[in-house]
Every structure is written in structure tokens, then in C-alpha cells.
């Protein structure tokens, strides 16, 4: 059985690149989570997980993360990505992510509403919301990326 992560952090970054994958990689670098292998997860925050401003993760580690990302090659396009966590005092929580054509404020509002809805569906009172968002106006090929990474 895999251990349950005990820590989490929110990341967001935006960047340009000569091709889509380089734009994505540059956004990860700017967000501060580039030198690990992200494993896409669904949207449950482990009970009791502790927020850490910065996670100390060894390079090359397999890191569970819920993330939203968008890449565009349309100059002038405004793209955004956002993540939010919502949890109750008992620690149960959800993670929601968004990526699309929007401002960072619109993206943040969207994920906050998604968190509220998800906890309401579960009958869990919402006591805390944390949001991180970013937007980017594309010059050539741009990327916006936001994630909640879990760690041990």
C-alpha cells in the first residue's frame, strides 16, 4: 500500500517557449516544481495534510499533483490556470483545478466555486479555501500552469 501524503503546496507559473513542451517546462520552472516527475491525481486532499509554503522534494521524485495547464500559440491570447483547496476543520478536503482562456481573477473565482460545490455535495462544511492562479498573454507560444502537489 502506498503511504498517504502528509504535506501539500500550491504552485503557479507562466512562460513562453519555442514549442509547446518548452513553454510547459518553462512554466514549471517559474512555478518552482520543474525538476520532478508529476503524477496527475484526482482531487482529494488527504485528511490532516499540512500546508507548506515550499516542499523540499528531491529531484527526479514521483510527485502526486492535481494540476491545470493550458498552452496557446495564438499571439494576444490571455490564458490562465488556477488551483484551489477547500477543507473542513476535520481536515477532509478537495482540490479543484482550472485552465482556459480567462484572467487569473476569473480562474481563481472558478476554482473557488468548484471547491464550494464539491464539499457541499459531500456534506462537508467548508472552513478554509486556498487559491493560487496565474495568467499569461501569449507572445508566440505561451503556457499557464497551476498545481497542488502532495508530499510526505
Q: Where are the alpha helices (DSSP H) in the chain?
A: 20-31, 104-122
**Inside any domain, residue 58:** no
CA gap 75, 22 in Å, rounded: 16
Q: Could you read off the pLDDT of 77-123 as tens digits, one per residue?
A: 999 999 999 999 877 799 999 999 999 999 999 999 999 999 999 99
Q: What is the pLDDT of residue 96?
A: 98
**Inside any domain, residue 1:** no
Q: Could you read off the pLDDT of 5-22 as tens digits, one per residue?
A: 999 999 999 999 999 999
**Inside any domain, residue 17:** yes
**pLDDT at position 2 over 90:** no
**Inside any domain, residue 80:** yes
**Inside any domain, residue 56:** no
Q: How many independent structural domains does the chain possess? A: 1
**Inside any domain, residue 57:** no
Would you place residue 128 in the very low, low, confident or very high pLDDT band (cuts 50, 70, 90)?
very high
| Helices and strands per DSSP (H, E), number in the chain | 2, 9
Q: Cα-atom radius of gyration of the chain, to the nearest Å? A: 15
Q: Could you read off the pLDDT of 28-42 as tens digits, one per residue?
A: 999 999 999 999 999
CA gap 125, 58 in Å, rounded: 35
Q: What is the mean pLDDT of residues 48-74?
A: 97
Q: Could you read off the pLDDT of 130-145 as tens digits, one per residue?
A: 999 999 999 999 999 9
Q: By residue range, what is the domain housing residue 93?
A: 7-51+63-151
DSSP 48: T
**Inside any domain, residue 120:** yes
What CATH number is given to the structural domain containing 26? 3.50.20.10
Which of the residues are catalytic? 37, 42-43, 97
Amino acid at each position: 500500500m502506498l503511504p498517504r501524503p502528509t504535506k501539500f503546496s500550491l504552485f503557479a507559473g507562466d512562460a513562453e517557449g519555442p514549442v509547446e513542451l518548452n513553454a510547459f517546462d518553462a512554466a514549471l520552472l517559474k512555478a518552482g516544481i520543474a525538476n520532478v516527475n508529476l503524477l496527475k491525481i484526482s482531487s482529494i486532499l488527504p485528511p490532516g495534510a499540512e500546508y507548506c509554503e515550499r516542499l523540499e522534494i528531491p529531484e527526479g521524485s514521483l510527485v502526486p499533483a492535481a494540476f491545470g495547464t493550458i498552452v496557446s500559440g495564438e499571439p494576444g491570447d490571455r490564458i490562465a490556470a488556477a488551483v484551489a483547496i477547500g477543507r473542513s476543520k476535520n481536515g477532509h478536503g478537495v482540490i479543484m483545478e482550472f485552465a482556459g482562456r480567462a484572467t487569473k481573477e476569473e480562474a481563481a473565482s472558478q476554482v473557488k466555486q468548484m471547491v464550494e460545490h464539491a464539499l457541499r455535495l459531500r456534506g462537508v462544511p467548508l472552513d478554509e479555501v486556498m487559491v493560487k492562479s496565474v495568467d499569461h498573454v501569449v507572445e508566440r507560444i505561451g503556457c499557464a500552469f497551476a498545481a497542488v502537489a502532495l508530499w510526505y
